[in-house]
Amino acid sequence: MLKARALKSLTPAFRWERLLRRRRLAKPKQVDVTEPDFFKEFDRLLRSESLADWRTYLRWHLASAKAPYLTEAFEREDFDFYSRYLEGVQEMPPALEAVRLELVDRDLGEALGQVYVGKAFPPGTRAAALDMVRRIQAAMDRRIRGLTGWRRPPRNGRSRSCTHE
């Protein structure tokens, strides 16, 4: 965890305050930065690449992300690059079928997963899995209670609650 100003020191060329203000987000006291080298490289690229190049790069990513929802030409180009060229898929699936599959996966994935589990796994399997989870949680609780010196007691209680989320 870094203090917010330490993040600013990793990326002095990026205006974090402006981003937060425009997104109507509160300024964080701390930021979880697991890869500081990424932020250093990001800062280097901000300084070395032109604004025109950044605009081109960001427009390309936006068009790529939204290609399935744009015109057929965008969708075809997206398929040709990502599926045909990178993955070797020779034929583009029919548009309606592709959209249906995407919508089903996005909107019904969890519900379909529950139906699948209900059909594919006998009731005893669920009970055994839940019992295993409870035993793992109990073991983690015992280990956390046995730890000393690494955290203050109030956070230790929070650590125990994390094992049950």
pLDDT tens digit string along 42-96? 999 999 999 999 999 999 999 888 887 788 888 888 889 888 999 898 888 777 5
CA distance 60 to 9: 29
pTM metric for this prediction: 0.47
The C-alpha torsion from 62 through 63 and 68 to 72, rounded to 10°, is: 170
- CA within 13 Å, CB half, 91: 3
Instruction: Say what the pLDDT of residue 132 is.
Output: 94
Instruction: Say what the pLDDT of residue 149 is.
Output: 64
* Cβ atoms of residues 46 and 13 within 8 Å: yes
Instruction: Say what the pLDDT of residue 152 is.
Output: 56
What percent of the chain lies above the pLDDT cut of 70? 87
CA distances in angstroms from 137 to 29, 132, 140, 148, 152, listed in the order given: 31, 9, 5, 19, 21
What percent of the chain lies above the pLDDT cut of 90? 27
Tens digit of each residue's pLDDT (9 = 90 or more) over 120-135: 888 788 888 889 999 9
Name which of 53-57, 61-65, 97-101, 111-115 the model is least confident about: 97-101
Hey, what are 158's tokens? 């929070």
Average pLDDT across the chain, whole number: 83
pLDDT of 160 higher than 80: no
Any idea which residue has 């796994």 for tokens?
A: 121
Instruction: Say what the pLDDT of residue 164 is.
Output: 60
According to DSSP, the residues that pair with 2 across neighbouring strands are 31
